[in-house]
Structure 1
Amino acid sequence: MNSSITRLTGFASGLDTDSIVKKLMNAESIPLNKLKQNQQKQTWLSDAYRQWNTDLLAFRSNTLFNMNLSKTYNTFTVTSSQENSVSASTSGSSLAGTYSVAVKQLASSAAFTGSKVPLDPTKTLGNTVQGSAQLTADTSITMDVYNDPKNPSAFQSMTIDIKTTDTINDVVSKINNAKDSNGKSLSVQAFYDPTLQQFILKTKETGAATKIDLSKNTSAASQAFLSNTLGLDTTNLVASGQNANIIFNGNEITNLAANNTTIMGINFTFKSTTVDANGNVMPSTVTVSQNPDEVIKNIKDFVDKYNSLLEKLNNAVQEPIYRDYLPLLDEQRSEMSEKQIEMWEVKAKSGLLRSDSILTDIANKMRNAMTSIVDNGSPYYSLASIGISSKSYQDKGKLYVDEAKLREAIQTDPNAVEKLFSQLGDTSKGTNGVIKQISNVLQDGIKKLTNKAGYTGNSQYDQSVIGKILSNMQTDITRQTEKLSRKESQYYRQFASMEQAISKFNSQSSWLYQQMGGGM
């Protein structure tokens, strides 16, 4: 405690006033120190609750969310007899089976490919080194681009100025960055390859709806630029794209604007035609089969994460309490090393959540959900029925997976296994799957934890239960600190008065002594 008054420290009495006041204040500070220690404990408790809030939310948002996805249970192996022509992947809604897929024609973009024109990209087009491709005067070209399958007659138009001081790379850049009057990109790609000595212009998209129209360039200058510099055939200045043409299980499909599509829940990618040198269509055989190994892996991963969370909950509510290890005060910290402080606080924080009602309730309800019966219309109506169960009550709810039994269930009735986990219904009627039941448990637990201690990232002095406790404690600490400061000042004033009285007494005694001839 600090005092603003002048302190007279034993000049008359010879007493160590500071030492005496310090001891008196140590006794006076006991209630404040206890309050500070309790405040620290409540702060640790708030941190612990908030961390659990974060952990449970992460488990619910990630692990449980993934276990609700159809793709977790509908896993497949896909093979193609012509992988270089047709490849495929599956989604959660894919149908197992064998499919015949022939590619008669790939989807393509609208494109121009010029004939060979030797250009030096480092030289301007007006430079004589460009030979017959030299640009003798500034010109411009107009480009109309059609790229809307829903409105085939709609197009974007742009006029591009070409100067003799431009290089071929400048022209390419102008085309690639071209925008129409509304500021919208033309979505075309231009390229000049100096090795091939070819200029290429194409739409970014594919399909029959794509088209590049250069036919408005009728002037001699623009025609010369297109022909001599870019190597384009000016007798045909309209290029159109085309749709893919495939035959799926005997059904011809001609309206695919891209070289990928989804049929029967299977994502197909077409890489080349399946037509041989004689023009015969050679279908690729695509086989989609269930892959129980992947489903088993997904379920085992979930069980492992569930076990880890449950073990963490069990440890928290059973953690030992070390009552002799109270939160350290600032004076105590100053006398200890960082390692000693760290070791002390491990013991001081231990058991903060021992027998905690919120975490105990979450753990119990999670165990109940994992042993519940789900009305899914199948003999595989519980985790135990598919080989997932505890071995002993001593496991405290830990689950083990009988892989052989789980595999048998997946192969016999994969739909029932999926419903057992992810079915949405009514928990009170036994129609909610295991994942939904646990999700509800965690949602309720997260709500209680939030009411108790708030969210991570928020001020600890929020409107939660512990937040209000901490606010009240801080008010009490401020009040008691001010009270102790006044008390300390009072002690020093009292000692100062005593010192003055002793000094006065000593002076009077000395005077009397002298008057009585003490000095003779």
Structure 2
Amino acid sequence: MDLSSIANNINYRYQRSSRLQVGGAVSGLDTQSIIEKLMELEAAPLQRLNDKYTQYANLQKAYQKVSSKIREFYNYISDFSLQANLIPKTATSSATNVLNASAAPSALDGAYSVDVVSLATNSLFKSGKLGREIQPTDTFASIDTRYAPVDNSVVKIKVGSQEQQITVSHSDTINDIIGKLEQAFTDLGAIANIVFQDGKLKIESNKAFQISNASGNFTFVFRLNDASLKQAGTNFVLESSGDIGVYSTFKTLSSLGVTSDATIKINGKEITLKPSDTLQTIIQKINNTITDVYATYDDKSGQIVLTSKTTGDNLISVEGDSGLLGVLKLDDTNSTFTLGQLANVKVTFNGYIEEITSKSNSLTYNGVTLNLSAIGSAIVTVGTDKDKIVERVKDFVNKWNELTDFLYTKLTEKKVTNKSPDQMNEDEKLQGLLKDDSFLRRIFDKFRSFLTTTIDGKKLADLGIESGDVGKSFENTMKGRITLNEDKLKKFIDENGPDAVWKFFGNNDTYKGLGIQLKEYSFNLTKFNGEIDTVAGVSGRLEREKRILSKRMVTMMEYLEKKEQQLWAKYSSLESALSKLQAQGAFMAQAFTQRK
């Protein structure tokens, strides 16, 4: 039986509705009402137990609200006490295109002269060109590394509103095609210079133009379909978007002569490739298997490129079946490896020069982090933001007052008396339950005692934090409220340095700062099986009291059920006896009538 829910099943008037009871048929008595009244009296102790149970449950909720408020303060004070949060440093770069900077609390204020000599780069392993070298004397039909050229493809050239068409047959060489194109431009009143070089067709004209397919696939074969017209001075240039001799990503190993499964090993990890694998599939398999390199296929140059995922002097090794390596141009003859560089920086501070090397373009010098983006020079200025320190301490004052106001209110607020329990909301039901509570008073007094704590010979007043609202009532001092004199805090920072503020609150070395002490006390109050948990937790004192009450209530309910059954039995016996007397009376009356 769920003891925790017993109280919710008890009504103010004890009544059973599990079976139909009918009484008073003979006697004329309202048996139902009589038994209900009797049971109401019998159920009074049960109602008192129920009221006590509800009181404990509400008290438990009230303590849990206190715990939540203190836990909220614990989370705040944990962050507040961190040196990086309490003493924020600023770091500005004079050349953000060269580097950006940030500073840890340990960084010394001042100007740092930074010369970026070199940037850290990734190591690269590149294959040779996957494809073939296309020559100007090659025919249109032979340029089949990416598409199967369509014989008699019709090409449309448009200059302004005029158009010309040329037909490109399988037997036309690239030189023949260039001649046809140049003649078409001439017929359109334009001067064109057309060359084929490094696997690309380049068309330069003194007039803007468009080239498209009227039929066939000429622009796809020469990779002009995804090329854009660009202006170069007074001329206009259209050039193949990539080498027309390189293989597309859909090229399979079987089409390159691989007839059986073969293996490749990159940085010691083996990958099995199948004849049906395309270049795109090969790239995917590498990226799914190898964790320290990233593979791509450069569709413009026809190269497989392996790039180390981190910068610096990282090695990339490629091994495997010699035939497969040769086909993919990853063998020693065709491939090239470029070792990644280290970042090199020279930092000058207070006349001292230090040279720093790093595998990463993010490096740290005496608490100053430099994020490099280009070779060059910059001045990094590090300073302490005194105004932000004041804001942090001001925020602490507000959070402290928020906590102590809450605790003081719970200790002094009165219960709601002008509403019935059914009319009250949750907060109103809990209001006043902790008034003058000894356990909560001890917690409040302990928090307030921290205001007089001496940390390394200093007190809160030395930092401009004073107890109570100056010039206001004594009640604010009793509440444990504090105020901040910002000018006094700034003077403290000027005289003792920003680090003294952090040591007062956050030091955790030879002594514990105030923030650390508050953090530990708040944690001990709110942790599992902590001080509040021992009273209001799932295994706490109040929960144990509720369980005891629940068991007593179960026993009482069982007693009441039996009592009700007994009452019904008695009244049933009464009705039965009256019924018999009534029958006897009727018999005797009938007998007297017959004798007459």
- Within 2, Cα distance between the matches of 1:347 and 1:73? 39
**Quick check: 1:371–1:384 contact (8 Å CA) kept in 2?**
no
Runs of 5+ unmatched residues, structure 2: 1-14, 130-241
**Quick check: 1:57–1:442 contact (8 Å CA) kept in 2?**
yes
Give CA-to-partner distance per residue, 1:186-209, whole Å, 9 cap, x none.
41111124467654321112212x
What is the Cα deviation at residue 472 of structure 1? Answer: 0.9
Where do residues 234-313 of structure 1 align in structure 2 (5 Å cutoff)? 234=333, 237-249=336-348, 251=353, 253=355, 255-274=357-376, 283-313=377-407
Aligned twin of 1:35: 49
Task: From the CA coordinates, give the structure whose radius of gyration is larger.
Answer: 2
Aligned twin of 1:51: 65
Residue 32 (structure 2) pairs with residue 18 (structure 1): yes
Once the two structures are overlaid, the 10-residue window that deviates more, 79-88 or 414-423, is 414-423
**Could you state the TM-score of these two structures normalised by the residue count of structure 2?**
0.69
Give CA-to-partner distance per residue, 1:259-294, whole Å, 9 cap, x none.
1112111111111111xxxxxxxx311110111122
State the AA in 1 paired with 2:424.
Answer: M
481, 484, 509: which one pairs with 1:401?
Answer: 484
Q: Call closer, same or farther: CA 1:236–1:432 in 2, change over 3 Å.
A: closer
Aligned residues: 454
Q: Call closer, same or farther: CA 1:323–1:505 in 2, change over 3 Å.
A: farther
- Within 2, Cα distance between the matches of 1:481 and 1:217? 83
**Quick check: 2:455–2:514 contact (8 Å CA) kept in 1?**
yes
Give CA-to-partner distance per residue, 1:353-397, whole Å, 9 cap, x none.
111122222222212212433234xxxx22222222221422222
**Quick check: 2:126–2:335 contact (8 Å CA) kept in 1?**
no
**Quick check: 1:213–1:237 contact (8 Å CA) kept in 2?**
no
State the AA in 1 paired with 2:570.
Answer: Q
Q: Call closer, same or farther: CA 1:222–1:235 in 2, change over 3 Å.
A: closer
Where do residues 383-422 of structure 1 align in structure 2 (5 Å cutoff)? 383-389=460-466, 390-391=468-469, 392=472, 393-395=474-476, 396-413=479-496, 414-422=498-506
Aligned twin of 2:329: 226
Aligned twin of 1:188: 293
What is the Cα deviation at residue 8 of structure 1? Answer: 5.0
Runs of 5+ unmatched residues, structure 1: 128-133, 146-155, 179-184, 275-282, 328-340
Once the two structures are overlaid, the 10-residue window that deviates more, 51-60 or 363-372, is 51-60
Aligned twin of 1:213: 317
- Residue 204 of structure 1 aligns to a residue whose secondary structure is strand
- Within 2, Cα distance between the matches of 1:483 and 1:351? 35
Q: Call closer, same or farther: CA 1:219–1:509 in 2, change over 3 Å.
A: closer
- Within 2, Cα distance between the matches of 1:285 and 1:493? 100
Aligned twin of 2:507: 423
124, 136, 140: which one pairs with 2:251?
Answer: 124
- Within 1, Cα distance between the matches of 2:256 and 2:117? 42
429, 435, 441: which one pairs with 1:360?
Answer: 441
**Quick check: 2:122–2:308 contact (8 Å CA) kept in 1?**
yes
- Within 2, Cα distance between the matches of 1:245 and 1:5? 91
- Within 1, Cα distance between the matches of 2:300 and 2:485? 63
Give CA-to-partner distance per residue, 1:190-244, whole Å, 9 cap, x none.
1124467654321112212x11234x579466334317xxxx9945533322211
426, 433, 438: which one pairs with 2:513?
Answer: 433
- Within 2, Cα distance between the matches of 1:25 and 1:108? 89
**Quick check: 2:64–2:536 contact (8 Å CA) kept in 1?**
yes
**Quick check: 2:263–2:321 contact (8 Å CA) kept in 1?**
no
Q: Call closer, same or farther: CA 1:397–1:196 in 2, change over 3 Å.
A: farther
What is the Cα deviation at residue 2 of structure 1? Answer: 3.6
What is the Cα deviation at residue 53 of structure 1? Answer: 2.5
Please report the RMSD computed on the Cα atoms of aligned residues, expressed in angstroms. Answer: 3.0
Larger strand percent: 2
State the AA in 1 paired with 2:513.
Answer: G
Aligned twin of 1:442: 522
- Residue 370 of structure 2 aligns to a residue whose secondary structure is strand
**Quick check: 2:390–2:489 contact (8 Å CA) kept in 1?**
yes
- Residue 122 of structure 2 aligns to a residue whose secondary structure is coil
Give CA-to-partner distance per residue, 1:417-473, whole Å, 9 cap, x none.
2222123489xxxx643223323543454433121122xxx4xxx3x2112211110
State the AA in 2 paired with 1:76.
Answer: K
Aligned twin of 2:219: none
**Quick check: 1:71–1:91 contact (8 Å CA) kept in 2?**
yes
Residue 300 (structure 2) pairs with residue 177 (structure 1): no
Q: Call closer, same or farther: CA 1:196–1:310 in 2, change over 3 Å.
A: farther
- Within 2, Cα distance between the matches of 1:3 and 1:76? 73
- Within 1, Cα distance between the matches of 2:373 and 2:298? 24
**Quick check: 2:247–2:302 contact (8 Å CA) kept in 1?**
no
State the AA in 2 paired with 1:223.
Answer: G
Residue 589 (structure 2) pairs with residue 513 (structure 1): yes
Aligned twin of 1:336: none
- Within 2, Cα distance between the matches of 1:443 and 1:222? 62
- Within 1, Cα distance between the matches of 2:270 and 2:484? 65
- Residue 256 of structure 2 aligns to a residue whose secondary structure is coil
- Within 2, Cα distance between the matches of 1:284 and 1:420? 36
Aligned twin of 2:88: 75
Q: Call closer, same or farther: CA 1:157–1:20 in 2, change over 3 Å.
A: closer
**Quick check: 1:37–1:326 contact (8 Å CA) kept in 2?**
no
